[in-house]
A and B are shown apart, each in its own frame.
Chain A
Amino acid sequence: MRLDLVPRPHRSPLAEALAPALAFLAAVLVGGVAVSLLGVSPAAAFVVYFVAPLSELWSLQEVAVKAAPLALIATGLAFCYRANLWNIGAEGQFVVGGLAGGMVAIATHGSTGFTLWILPAMLAAGTLAGIAYAMIPALLRVRLGVSEILTSLMLVYVAELLLDYMARGPLRDPAGYNFPQSVAFDEAARLPALMEGDALHAGVLVALAAVGLGAVVLGRSLFGFEMRLVGASPRAARFAGFSAERLTLLAFAISGGAAGLAGIVEVAGRIGQLQPSISPGYGFTAIIVAFLGRLSPVGILVAAFVIAVTTIGGEAAQIDLRLPLDLTRAFQGLLLGLVLGADVLTRFRLRLVAGTAR
């Protein structure tokens, strides 16, 4: 018995939209089995994971605040992945962005008078730091041919250690009773809340705007076309005279900048100070979001929402049902695997053939 993959002559948009949905359904079913193995009713777990986060205003706000950085990072990553460039260090670029922007807030702490420039300066510093940090693997790849996969990942660990050092050392609040955190940012260095006293902050709008911009650039501009062509057919791109070097650097700059911006949005929005750790793994989760959204900004927006719901649900399940947080992580890994598998089925038809494996 042998499994053959027969290329489909036409791509069907319906199948391409259905594939991630089916993968999601399959992952939910497997998750249900896992939950019942852990001794919890799957129905109860389903409500906690997928229904409860959508049923109240405060939890919907939490979902939006979680989905924003995911969508922002994933949109940047889509540029890279479309061009077959593997920046898997968005987590590091996120951390460096948060650190650089946070340092602006700490340096201007307590300043009076005209303070309106502080917040834009923070956002700019975060974005630029993310770009600069992403340039390390990009330049190493372009100039020396070093695999960007490994260098970008190694730099995640370095960035986390750097933030840990800065938050415990030079940037620690001297009046903070030795707690490893910086001063709480001034009002002028915080992204304002959209509703008084609630979690939803202006960073969600920043992220939405950036995703919209990404959608236009990737889908409607010559640059976006070059990016997609390089990934889909490097040979054709070479004949068209597109410079792979330039596209590599730009793709990394976009994804690094988006991750850095997401980092400072998280720090200036939700956290409001620098801590030894500022990310629950957004940079890695965003990779799942990018693929779940089929590397298109609109799809990514939907995927970020879905993943954010399961993350909030996972936190609630940990408290309400004593289900471990690792279950959420395993679920997300499984989901990514199933999405990738389902993706193949949109490109090929499976055929079982008698005979030996080839």
Chain B
Amino acid sequence: MSPDVIAMVAATVLAAATPLIIAGLGELVAERAGVLNLGVEGMMVCGAAVGFAAAVESGSTLVGALAGIGAGVALAAAFGLLTVGLAANQVASGLALTILGLGLSGLAGARYVGLKRDPAPHLAIPGLTDLPVVGPLVFGQDGFVYAGLALAMGVSWFLWRTRTGLVLRAIGDDPAATHSLGLPVRAARFLAVLFGGACAGLAGAYLSLAYTPFWAPAMTAGRGWIALALVVFASWRPGRVVAGAVLFGGATVLQLHAQALGIGLPGQVLSAVPYLATILALILLSLARRQGGSLAPAALGRDFTPHR
């Protein structure tokens, strides 16, 4: 393969990985605070629908992305109210959020099915972007890709290099102890959930504004769930979310290429690859962790009600 082809494949892998990176990082922060939000798929698909609608109406990709974030935050706020405010069951509430999100996205996007707009602009720095191989790959991506990578660094810095990040992780491990230190458990959890929603919405907006770029009902096709699996796979570490997302992106691209080349396998088998790969990754991870014990935040999925 020529270097140019490799660069092109690498760019498509990165593009396929970006929504998983963004959504996965958001969920990682929420789960580090001890809240398991299974509604990523719902927030993501709403972000895609609302983001695309806003971009078409305003003619601006940025407005679209912001609207996508807003849709994710709004749904996450409802989820946070239920699970953090009212201590409702997190798993069931997350499922409700997914069902609600899929329905709402269909309503919001109904008038925009079949419309097309130009994909989000790619970076172009004269001189740098024109460099062979490295140029387009490093300096020629769209804003979402850079945002995703910056987010990974930001989240990593926040969680391990700031006091607030330490508090957040402590809440995810032992909310009762953190509460008795006088730290705001439920407020922090609520904000972490909102951050997760913002990221999921942005990831969805990336799909409809840059990746495809159009709106189709249920276009997330399980990516929200894969992002959830990715957080487990990454043992709740931002760097590994990026690495895992690139692996999954690679599997997706491989599957598309195999389909295009007409390998003697039925299309359905290839379409099942991402889902089977997710299961396989979770199995391998748990095999590798047999002795080490769980790395999950100790209070993940447990509600917290301060009693006094």
With contact pairs A144-B286, A147-B232, A147-B282 given, residues A336 and B272 touching in the complex (Cβ less than 8 Å): no
> What A residues does B271 contact at CB under 8 A?
161
* Contact between chains at B282 and A333 (CB < 8 Å): no
Q: Give the residues from 333 to 348 in chain A that come closer than 8 angstroms, CB to CB, to chain B.
A: 333-334, 336-337, 340-341, 343-345, 348
CA distance A18 to B93 in the complex (A): 20
* Contact between chains at A324 and B266 (CB < 8 Å): no
* Contact between chains at B104 and A330 (CB < 8 Å): yes
CA distance A158 to B272 in the complex (A): 6
> What B residues does A161 contact at CB under 8 A?
268-269, 271-272
* Contact between chains at B307 and A150 (CB < 8 Å): no
* Contact between chains at A333 and B97 (CB < 8 Å): yes
Q: Which residue of B lies closest to A340 (CB)?
A: B88
> What A residues does B282 contact at CB under 8 A?
140, 146-147, 150-151
Q: Say yes or no: is A327 at the interface (Cβ < 8 Å to chain B).
A: yes
> What A residues does B276 contact at CB under 8 A?
154, 158
* Contact between chains at A154 and B229 (CB < 8 Å): yes
CA distance A327 to B108 in the complex (A): 10
B305's partner among A145, A162, A169, A348 (CB-CB below 8 A) is: A348
* Contact between chains at B102 and A329 (CB < 8 Å): yes
> What B residues does A331 contact at CB under 8 A?
103
* Contact between chains at B266 and A165 (CB < 8 Å): yes
CA distance A198 to B278 in the complex (A): 44
B229's partner among A4, A7, A150, A329 (CB-CB below 8 A) is: A150
Q: Say yes or no: is B177 at the interface (Cβ < 8 Å to chain A).
A: no
Interface string of A124-151 (1 = CB under 8 A from B): 0000000000000000100011110111
> What B residues does A157 contact at CB under 8 A?
222, 272, 275
* Contact between chains at A332 and B99 (CB < 8 Å): yes
Interface string of B9-31 (1 = CB under 8 A from A): 00000000000000000000000
Q: Say yes or no: is A56 at the interface (Cβ < 8 Å to chain B).
A: no
CA distance A327 to B106 in the complex (A): 8
With contact pairs A4-B306, A150-B229 given, residues A158 and B275 touching in the complex (Cβ less than 8 Å): yes
> What B residues does A356 contact at CB under 8 A?
184
How many A residues have CB within 8 A of the partner chain?
A: 51
How many A-B contacts are there with CB distance less than 8 Å? Answer: 149
> What B residues does A345 contact at CB under 8 A?
86
> What A residues does B106 contact at CB under 8 A?
324-326, 329-330
CA distance A333 to B42 in the complex (A): 10
> What B residues does A86 contact at CB under 8 A?
91
Q: Which of A97-105, A183-191, A213-221, A283-291 contacts B (4 or more CB under 8 A)?
A: A283-291
Q: Say yes or no: is A5 at the interface (Cβ < 8 Å to chain B).
A: yes
Q: Say yes or no: is A204 at the interface (Cβ < 8 Å to chain B).
A: no
Q: Give the residues from 292 to 331 in chain A that come closer than 8 angstroms, CB to CB, to chain B.
A: 324-331
* Contact between chains at A358 and B306 (CB < 8 Å): yes
B93's partner among A150, A324, A340 (CB-CB below 8 A) is: A340
With contact pairs A3-B85, A161-B272, A334-B100 given, residues A150 and B283 touching in the complex (Cβ less than 8 Å): no
Give chain B nearest CB distance to A354 CB in angstroms.
14
CA distance A331 to B105 in the complex (A): 13
Q: Say yes or no: is A83 at the interface (Cβ < 8 Å to chain B).
A: no
> What A residues does B89 contact at CB under 8 A?
340, 343
CA distance A140 to B107 in the complex (A): 38
Top 5 nearest A-B pairs (CB, nearest first) are A333-B100, A330-B103, A326-B106, A329-B103, A333-B99
Between-chain CB contacts (< 8 Å), 20 pairs: A5-B86, A5-B87, A144-B286, A146-B286, A150-B279, A154-B222, A165-B266, A284-B95, A288-B96, A324-B110, A326-B103, A326-B105, A334-B96, A337-B78, A337-B93, A337-B100, A340-B89, A357-B184, A357-B187, A358-B186
